Amino acid sequence: TQLLEQSPQFLSIQEGENLTVYCNSSSVFSSLQWYRQEPGEGPVLLVTVVTGGEVKKLKRLTFQFGDARKDSSLHITAAQPGDTGLYLCAGGGRGSRLTFGEGTQLTVNP
Amino acid sequence: DVKVTQSSRYLVKRTGEKVFLECVQDMDHENMFWYRQDPGLGLRLIYFSYDVKMKEKGDIPEGYSVSREKKERFSLILESASTNQTSMYLCASRLPTTEAFFGQGTRLTVV
């Protein structure tokens, strides 16, 4: 079973601060996705990274895929209360399976 | 607007009951998944299906079975519900390499 480890598990910061969430594995993934989940809802895709070393930006969010395609990071600049939620990384592997990390619960306080 | 719909948002069942969780998608996706979500454990794959009548065990299939008689519908069955199956259950569908679309989840409580 491919495993993804996310850190930190919990993060509570003040509005305007920057933060980074990490997603690591000992396995190589064909692609890596980041999802955000709000209470009472299913996860929603933020981004997919496919190429080792790839960097994608989505407004204040920057996603990076490691060169060896085993790890990824999500960096948020100037966090806002609307960024509060559960962030999940998911690795694409055998067939159509998606393996999810444990999630990072982010709280941005006004 | 693409949709994955789970039949119930909340369910309360008694220990030993047979429980059916239903999921329907309208995107003509081949692949459908059932996950359970518990605090600190992320989403754990129970079963997935890559075609009608085809299924494959995920990481935690014990105590569960599934049925996919039609492409759009994927059912999760708890043969004899137990308290350790109290959890949030999420259904998802996707094409082989694209994003997964999730339902809103079913919060199941077994008492």
pLDDT tens by residue, B11-50: 999 999 999 999 999 999 999 999 999 988 889 999 999 9
Q: Which residues of B touch A (CB under 8 A)?
A: 4, 9, 30-31, 33, 35, 40-45, 48, 50, 56, 58-59, 90, 92, 94-97, 99-105
The residues, any chain, with a CB within 8 Å of residue A9's CB and separated by 6 or more, are A102, A103, A104, A105, B40
DSSP state of B39: T
CB nearest B100 (choices: A1, A98, A102): A98
Which of A98, A99, A105 is most worth mutating to test chain B (most B CB atoms within 10 A of its CB)?
A: A98
CB of B21 closer than 8 Å to CB of B105: no
Listing DSSP states for B96-109 in one string gives TTS--EE---EEEE
Cβ A88–B43 below 8 Å, yes or no?
yes
pLDDT tens by residue, A7-18: 999 999 999 999
Please give the distance of CA A79 from its chain centroid, rounded to a whole number. 15
Cβ A43–B100 below 8 Å, yes or no?
yes
Residue A22, Cβ density class (10 Å: 0-12 exposed, 13-18 middle, ≥19 buried) = middle
Q: How many whole angstroms separate alpha carbon B15 and alpha carbon B82? A: 5
Decide if A60 touches B, using CB distance below 8 A: no
pLDDT tier at A94, thresholds 50, 70, 90: low
HEC secondary structure over chain A = CCCCEEECCEEEEECCCCEEEEEECCCCCCEEEEEEECCCCCCEEEEEECCCCCEEEECCEEEEECCCCCEEEEEECCCCHHHCEEEEEEEECCCCCEEECCCEEEEEEC
Cβ A90–B44 below 8 Å, yes or no?
no
Residue B60 is predicted with a pLDDT of: 95
Residue A92 is predicted with a pLDDT of: 80
